[in-house]
Amino acid sequence: MLIEEKLLMSYGAEVEDLDPSYVIFDEGSTPKYYYQIIKGRIKLNHYNDEGKELILAILSKGLSVCELLLFIDEKYPVNAIAFEETTVIKLPKTDFVRLLDDNPQISRDINKFLSERLYQKYIMLENNASLRPDVRIKGALNYQKSFSDDQSQFSFEVPLTRQQIASITALRVETVIRSIKKLEKEGFLKIINRKIFI
């Protein structure tokens, strides 16, 4: 967990239970809270000019949601939507800043976390620029696994459907299905009961 729940609560955080498809914030809205996931998953998405959904990330338990925007005066460039029944702890921005001022080690931990996320995002963006579908898919799956503590081979169950992988990589579902079968033959991933493990 990024920040201990007890510490967040001591600065005035509240716990919220969210139904599936609940919109936590919209693209273009002003960041007002620090959000950390206690249970469930949240997707960050964007819709292109044709209305097609592009999933940018799926965040799970222990992760924070777009915390980097609490440090700058910009609007959210994405939507955050509960993917399933989800519980979050939320802390107003001013209290979050006070918590960081009072706890420099947590501030350093957040800087490290943000740096790791940016590094992984750069790698994924580089892979997404490839014309090869398998390179795009590997980049997206490795990005998802980068959030896991266990990095051993086939230890991570990818929490995405083939459709969601297509949305992340801007590929057609049929292309994703073919490429995943190819990646399984190459030993990059395993498919167990239709679930992908990397």
pTM value is 0.83
Give DSSP secondary structure letters for 14-30. Answer: EEEEE-TT-EEE-TTPP
Predicted pLDDT at 55? 84
Alpha helical stretches, state H, 24-145: 93-102, 104-128, 133-145
DSSP label at 31? P
Predicted pLDDT at 189? 97
Predicted pLDDT at 130? 93
Q: How many CB atoms lie within 10 A of CB 111?
A: 12
pLDDT less than 50: residues of the chain? none
Q: What is the pLDDT of residues 47-99, one digit of tens each?
A: 888 888 888 888 989 999 999 999 999 999 999 999 999 999 999 999 999 99
Structural domains present in the chain: 5-114 (2.60.120.10), 130-197 (1.10.10.10)
HSE of 157 in the Cβ direction (CA atoms, 13 Å)? 6
Predicted pLDDT at 126? 87
Residues 6+ apart with CB under 8 A from 27: 46, 75, 76, 77, 78, 79
Which residues sit opposite 23 in a β-bridge? 81
